[in-house]
Amino acid sequence: MISTKAFALAGAALLAFAAAPAAADGHRTMAPDGAKVYIVSPADGAVVSSPVKVVFGLHGMGVAPATVEHPKTGHHHLIIDAPLPAMNDPIPKDEHYRHFGGGQTEAVVELAPGTHTLQLLLGDHAHVPHDSPVASPKITITVK
């Protein structure tokens, strides 16, 4: 007979396995040919005030909340003052890598005065970039 503790440990292990990144097995979610993500506003080179409203654009794919696994969809990640992350791992989550797993298509972000870079990266249901990555060009803005 299995003890309650052993049953709980087995359940925890199963949950950990189920929550493992999608790319752990080397298979990333495919992006359709021609899919593009871009920043609608602010424009590259804009001088803005904080908080900054960033509007996300997407062509050739749909937006779905994180955890929703549906073909040709993903959710936005806004990269602030940082490089693109590793493409085979879940996108980090911190002040440089902002997740919009609710399916948001815009965000209001507080930025300190100065020059900042912004870039979008689409992630799949497990926050892993698609194969091929769907990333916007990096833009530079100045916050006054």
Mean pLDDT on 115-142: 97
pLDDT bucket at 26, cuts 50 / 70 / 90:
low
Q: Domain span at residue 106?
A: 4-143
- pLDDT over 80 at 9, yes or no: no
CA 137/CA 57 separation, integer angstroms:
12
Long-range contacts, stretch 65-68, CB < 8 angstroms, 24+ apart: 65/101, 65/102, 65/103, 66/99, 66/101, 66/102, 66/123, 66/125, 66/126, 66/127, 67/101, 67/125, 68/125
pLDDT for position 100: 97
pLDDT (tens digit, 9 = 90+) per residue, 36-86?
999 999 999 999 999 999 999 999 999 999 999 999 999 999 999 999 999
Question: Average per-residue pLDDT in the chain?
Answer: 87
Tell me which range, 1-15, 19-33, 102-116, is most confidently predicted by mean pLDDT. 102-116
What CATH number did the domain enclosing 39 receive?
2.60.40.10
Q: How many domains does the chain have?
A: 1
